[in-house]
Amino acid sequence: MVEKSTSLRFDGSLWCNLDITVRNLDLVYRRSIRPYGITVIEWYILRALYVKDGQHASELARAVGRAATSFTPNLDKLQERGLIERRPDMGDRRAVRIFLTAEGQKIRESVLESAQEIDTQIRRIFPQSDYEVFLDVMAGLQGLEPEN
């Protein structure tokens, strides 16, 4: 377990410190997935498809925390790499479903192992009880709705 430091930057400003944390974790994730030639968002998309293949593009965007309106370029890149394919939804002509290709399936174990390695690395930083509180805090922040 790593020694804890309670000093935060910018007088403990929540947003600034969360942003610094996310940028630091982004670097950790990027290093881990570099061998696969994909971005972090593409890695999230693949992981979501490993859980449920054939999702609508809009539900896939929601699953990875992105706006559906700006999601198409991410899918374009994955399709160009031959990792996913788009298929029309037979029940709704306007909708498209996203499926993994054989190439996308081929890297499944590596992608999931890299996720497990990072999770294990992060878990080692905290005692188990702190880690569970950390997960609760993240879940609460993810459920936060902006006030009108």
Structural domains in the chain, sorted by start: 11-115 (1.10.10.10)
pLDDT of residue 113: 92
pLDDT of residue 3: 54
Residues 46 and 115: their CA atoms lie apart, in Å, by 11
Residues 132 and 139: their CA atoms lie apart, in Å, by 11
Mean per-residue pLDDT, 113-139: 91
pLDDT of residue 2: 52
The 10s digit of each residue's pLDDT in 51-70 is 999 999 999 999 998 988 88
SS3 108: helix
Residues 146 and 131: their CA atoms lie apart, in Å, by 26
The 10s digit of each residue's pLDDT in 65-93 is 898 888 999 999 999 999 999 999 988 88
Share of the chain above pLDDT 70, in %: 95
pLDDT of residue 147: 77
Residue labelled with tokens 């479903």: 97
